[in-house]
Amino acid sequence: MAIKPIVKFPVASLKSKAQPVTAFDDELRRLVADMIDTMRDAPGVGLAAPQIGVPLRVAVIAGNATLPEEPAPEEVAADSQPSGPEAEAVPPLVLVNPEIVAAEGEQVGEEGCLSVRDYFSNVKRFARIRVKAQDLDGRALDFEAEDFFARVIQHELDHLDGTLFLDRLSSLKRALYKKRLKKILQAEEENEQN
């Protein structure tokens, strides 16, 4: 399929709520294939459709995010993925119209995001969640996730509601990042002019 450009904060569309999927067709399959290619190329362990500019409630989670041998949070951020053959061994999980229907416990771990340039921070999430969604054919999915797997799902589902992990940080941390982002954007602009 195709690798799509990833929408980066502060683009306004990242703050919009995605619409439910109503057609389970070839167009949806192409979208999901593009999302998987884009996620793997980035590399990341999850990607939501709004991150490639498509306002639909679709997320993909890399199969290695579901493996029992989970890395420590400081070793792998929510959107970064190890590369190599093991990264391709387990097929990605496709979630269409997902929702968290139950949650409990608490975990704090470092997250980054493919849509947020050069920033990682600790984020508080639920430790265990129950998810209801649909697969590519519209069949119902109902499963539980915990630890890193639960963190990745919560991160991607936030994107579907127009929430970035930055929104879960203190106002001071957000302000410091916005100041740093301004410098990053200025440097990018200068590089483009040269």
* Catalytic positions, written as ranges: 156
Q: Measure the CA dihedral 94/96/97/101, to 10°.
A: -30
**Helix/strand/coil for 26:** helix
- In DSSP notation, 63-130 reads GGGGSSSPPPTTTS-TT----SHHHHHSPPEEEEEEEEEEEE--EEEEEEETTEEEEEEEEEE-SEEE
Buried b (16+ CB within 10 A) or exposed e, 125-155: bbebbebebbebeeeeeeeebebbbbbbbbb
β-sheet with 93-104: strand ranges across: 46-48, 58-61, 93-104, 128-134, 140-146
Q: Are 106 and 123 in contact (CB under 8 A)?
A: no
